[in-house]
Every structure is written in C-alpha cells, then in structure tokens.
Chain A
Amino acid sequence: MDDDWKRLRVSGLCKQFARGSVILSNIDLTVDRGAFMCILGPSGSGKSTLVDLIAGFEQPTGGTIAFDDSPVRGPGPDRVVIFQDIGNALFPWLTVQENAEFGLRNFVRNRRERRTRALEALELVGLDKDTHKFPSELSGGMKQRVQIARGLVMDPHVLIMDEPFAALDAITRRRMQYELKDLWQRTHKTVIFVTHDISEALILATDVTVLSSGPGARILDTFRPGLPDERDPADPAFIAAYRRVEALIGHVQDAGDAGRGEAR
C-alpha cells in the first residue's frame, strides 16, 4: 500500500441487501489525511453499514472507496476498526500486551520488535503498567484503550471508530473523549469516528458529516465546525454548531418520512 496517500475518497457508495432494502444511497465522502471526521446519524441510518463497507467487511452494491486512486478491497490493517462492543472486541485469553501484539504477529517476524511496538502503543493510551492483565480484569474504559492501542500498533492509514464509547457510562465516556482528542493531537492519525451523539462529534471533529435517517440514508451535509482546539460545550460557537446539526436532523426526519411515503 502506498504510504503517502492524501485522502480517502468514498464516491457514489450504495448498499442494497439481497431482499431489496436500500441501506445507503449515493454516499460521497472525502477524508483528508490527518482529519478527524465524525459521521453523525440517528439510529438506523446505516452508520454501521458504512463502517462495514469502508472497513471492507461488506462489499458495496455500487460506488468506490479509495486511498487517492488505489481502491480498497476487503478488510486490512490500513483501516483498523475500533468496535463498540467492549465485551467481545478483545481476545479474553490473551493479556493486554498479547492483545496489543495480536495483529503484528502476522506482519512482524521479530519478537522483540513486536513487544516494543505494542508497548509504545500501550504507553500512548496509558496502559503500560497493566500489560500482564487479562481483559476480564479491566474496566470498560480500559478495555477500549486496549482496543485503541491494538489498532494504533498496526499504524493504520485510518482508524475507524464505530461508536466506541457508546457502551461506557457518561463520565467515563466524557473522559475518553478528551483522551482520544489528546491522542489525536499528538499522533495526527486520520480518524473516522461514527456516533449518534452530537456533542461528542463537536468535541472531537475537524470535519462533520451528517447522515439522514434510513432506510436509503444519504448525506445531508458535510462541514467543518471551525471550532478552536480547546472545545467548550458552553462556547456560543459550539452551541451554534450544535443547533445547526440538530436542525438538520430534525428537518430531515420529516422530509425522510415524506420521501419514504412516495418511494413505496
């Protein structure tokens, strides 16, 4: 894989399942290298399907996904997914260290190199003291940190995060958001972050894409919130951005209902 890519481009992406239900219709999306793209959408808007397509778990019915001009095929460590389900995403028989090394086993021969690389990633998420623990001994927030480290180890082009904090309690979730933001500012890894939480998106994103509610979800708007690095939910600019997204989603729900009525 070419290492100096400039953008991930999703164009004209459609997904229709065999029974005929259209999940996504004509999705266009450009994620610049180093961006933090939040994809916002209500439940059932096909966010997870979009993740599955970009990650390569599913094949699109139409359209392409490409790093610059080289299309992606199938799942691979250049697009690592961080999953929401904290209970099943980690390998429970492996220690934190072994979980972090998991992907490297197939790519890096040298055992010592695997160790140091995993340790570096664990250090980034603040888990270098818990390397010998098993997932069952970790809290939800720690489990997600292991998952993030396990992904970062692969040095992916894009880190795809599928509602990674949705299963955490509110306080841990907020802390993880700021930690992730800090991590992104240090590494400038490209992130695609899927969520249904507007304030979460506005705290994290450099770019926001809003999806309509499904079926047949499409993109309503893509914009840069243009907020300062230190995000404050009480900042008037933050509130304005929040309102903008809310208006979009609210407005579309009506239009979506009307559209559905016509289509079927």
Chain B
Amino acid sequence: MIRPGRFGPLYGILLFFILWQVAAAFVGTPLLFPEPMDVMRGLAYMTETGELFEHLGATLQRLLVPLAVGMPLGAVLGCAMGASRDVNAWFDPYMRMANSTPAIALIPFALLWFGVTELARYSLVFYVGVYVVALNARGGVAQVPRLRIKAANTLGVLGASAFFRVVVPSSFPAILAGVRTATGLCIMVVVAAEMLGAASGLGYLIIRGRQNYDPTLIFIGIFGLGILSILFDRGIAFAIERFMPRWSVRRRV
C-alpha cells in the first residue's frame, strides 16, 4: 500500500497548477487555454454572484430526484429477478438491451418525446438508475452462498422469511456497488443531456463556454463536475459508514 505523505496529495496538485501555468504561458492564447489564475478569478466571481451554485444545484437536483426514485425501484426489481425465474425471464431481455445500449444514445429520443424539459433529463437518469441497480441486485442475489440459506433453514427460517432475512441482506453489498456505478454513469448522462438542451447545469455551462469562446467557463464546469463526482462518491461511502455500519467495507468477511 502507498503511504500518503504528510501533506497527502497536496504536492501533486501543486505540481499540476505549476505545469498548467507553464503550459498556458507557452501557448499564450487565453482564448484557447486560460491561465489558472483566470479560472480562479472566474470561479470567485461566479461564487460571489451565486451563479455557480445555481448550476451545481441544477445538476445535483437532476441526479438526486430521479435516482431517489429509480434506485430503490431497481433494487426491488433486481431482487425479484434474482428470486424468481419467471420475473427474470420477463425482464432479462430489457436488462440486456439497456446494458448494451449507451444511455447517451437515448438523449435525443428523450428530448424528442418530452421536449427540452426537466422530465426529459429526469427520465434518462431514472432509467439508468433502475437498470444498473437492478442488474447489480440480481447478481447479488445469485451470489448468496447456498450455505447461508441452509443455515437459516435449519433454524426454522424458511421460504420468504429466509429470502428477506438472509438473501436480501446478503446482496446488500452488491446493491451498494450498483448505487455507486449508477451515480457515476448518471453524472455522465445528465451532463450530456444538459449539453444537448438545457438552460442551466454544469453541462450547460461547458457548452456556453464553448459557444461564447470563454474557456474559463469550460474549465469551471469541468472542475464543478469533478467536485460533484467526489462529493457523491464520498457522500455514499460516508452514508454507508454512518447509517449502515453493518455493511461498511470493514465489516465484510
């Protein structure tokens, strides 16, 4: 394992900014390649006006609302598919299709159907949230050690009771892995959707930067997305640790 130094990744970040400054000075055309200080200034300005949070909030909302509905639904669907051959037979073709079609390819279709509305973006994120979590949940159910079910059975815990008390909790780690994958994928989808049609959000900011020849906007958008991703990932890890300590990585056998 690599041991983080006293300042952790600080040196790396510092080096990155130095290289960036040097490269920007070398290119010499701020219209193509802004210096780090320009981006910082832009960032400070947008923070002051609150515009940054507006866009960050818009993207965040487009992720959270449909995921909050879609992921639990996906978990239920996936567990049902893992439990019943019939349910699996019904939904498996759709799952395969969804899994092998890039969600981004569906954006124009969603915009055609719902217009440039929140509904279009919500529906895309919802769809990704459902099928990714469902696939993981199904895999989790399939991988529950047979012995665990036998252990429940011999203690008189049978059938549906064994399913809810052993199979579902056993597949929890797989479902949580699905949650992480789904949020990652949905960030991509929502940004692409914002680029193709929206008047707010980080994706919109990036596109506006390109259209207005304002590369600082592009950079701010990219940084915003990086921060959003980290927040999501850390946030999920923190939530598991805090609210579901039983399923924290440390506890897994």
Binding site for B on A (CB under 8 A): 55, 57, 74-77, 79-81, 83, 85, 87-94, 102-103, 105-107, 134-136, 150-151, 154
Given contacts A57-B153, A75-B158, contact A88 B172 (CB under 8 A): no
> Contact check: which of B145, B158, B161, B247 meets A93 at CB < 8 Å?
B247
Can you name the residue of chain B whose Cβ is closest to the Cβ of A107? B156
Question: Interface extent on B, as a size class?
Answer: 20 to 34
Q: Give complex CA distance A164, B220 in Å.
A: 61
Interface contact B252-A154, CB-CB below 8 Å: no
Interface contact A136-B156, CB-CB below 8 Å: no
Pairs A–B under 8 Å by Cβ, sample size 22 = A57-B154, A75-B150, A75-B154, A81-B150, A83-B150, A85-B147, A88-B148, A89-B147, A89-B148, A89-B151, A91-B151, A91-B169, A93-B246, A93-B251, A102-B155, A103-B156, A106-B157, A106-B161, A136-B251, A136-B253, A151-B154, A154-B155
Interface contact B148-A76, CB-CB below 8 Å: no
Interface contact A92-B147, CB-CB below 8 Å: no
Can you name the residue of chain B whose Cβ is closest to the Cβ of A136? B253
Interface contact B157-A102, CB-CB below 8 Å: yes
Q: Give complex CA distance A105, B162 in Å.
A: 12
Binding site for A on B (CB under 8 A): 145, 147-148, 150-158, 161, 165-166, 169-170, 172, 246-247, 250-253
Q: Which residues of B contact A107 (CB under 8 A)?
A: 156
Q: Give complex CA distance A87, B147 in Å.
A: 10
Interface contact A134-B156, CB-CB below 8 Å: no
Interface contact B251-A92, CB-CB below 8 Å: yes
Q: Which residues of A contact B156 (CB under 8 A)?
A: 75-77, 103, 106-107, 154
> Contact check: which of A55, A91, A92, A102 meets B252 at CB < 8 Å?
A92
Q: Which residues of A contact B246 (CB under 8 A)?
A: 93-94, 134
Interface contact A77-B154, CB-CB below 8 Å: yes
Q: Give complex CA distance A83, B251 in Å.
A: 22
Interface contact B252-A136, CB-CB below 8 Å: yes
Q: Give complex CA distance A180, B150 in Å.
A: 23
A109 to chain B, nearest CB (A): 15
Q: Give complex CA distance A93, B152 in Å.
A: 14
Given contacts A92-B252, A93-B251, A136-B251, contact A79 B154 (CB under 8 A): yes
A-B complex: 9 closest residue pairs judged by Cβ atoms: A103-B155, A77-B156, A75-B153, A93-B246, A88-B145, A88-B147, A92-B253, A81-B154, A136-B253
B229 to chain A, nearest CB (A): 28
Can you name the residue of chain A whose Cβ is closest to the Cβ of B153? A75
Can you name the residue of chain B whose Cβ is closest to the Cβ of A134? B251
Interface contact B172-A93, CB-CB below 8 Å: yes
Q: Which residues of A contact B150 (CB under 8 A)?
A: 57, 75, 81, 83
Q: Give complex CA distance A89, B145 in Å.
A: 9
Q: Which residues of A contact B170 (CB under 8 A)?
A: 93
Q: Which residues of B contact A105 (CB under 8 A)?
A: 157, 165
Q: Give complex CA distance A106, B155 in Å.
A: 9
Q: Give complex CA distance A90, B151 in Å.
A: 8
Q: Give complex CA distance A135, B148 in Å.
A: 14
Given contacts A87-B253, A135-B253, A136-B253, contact A93 B155 (CB under 8 A): no
Q: Which residues of A contact B153 (CB under 8 A)?
A: 57, 75
Q: Which residues of A contact B148 (CB under 8 A)?
A: 88-89, 91
B141 to chain A, nearest CB (A): 15
Interface centre among B152, B154, B169, B247 (most CB of A within 10 A): B154
Can you name the residue of chain B whose Cβ is closest to the Cβ of A103? B155
Extra 17 A-B pairs, beta carbons < 8 Å, given A75-B153, A91-B151, A134-B246: A55-B154, A57-B153, A83-B151, A88-B148, A88-B151, A91-B148, A91-B166, A91-B169, A93-B172, A93-B246, A94-B246, A102-B155, A103-B156, A105-B157, A106-B161, A150-B155, A154-B155
Q: Give complex CA distance A110, B193 in Å.
A: 54
Q: Give complex CA distance A57, B169 in Å.
A: 22
Q: Give complex CA distance A89, B166 in Å.
A: 11
Q: Give complex CA distance A79, B153 in Å.
A: 10
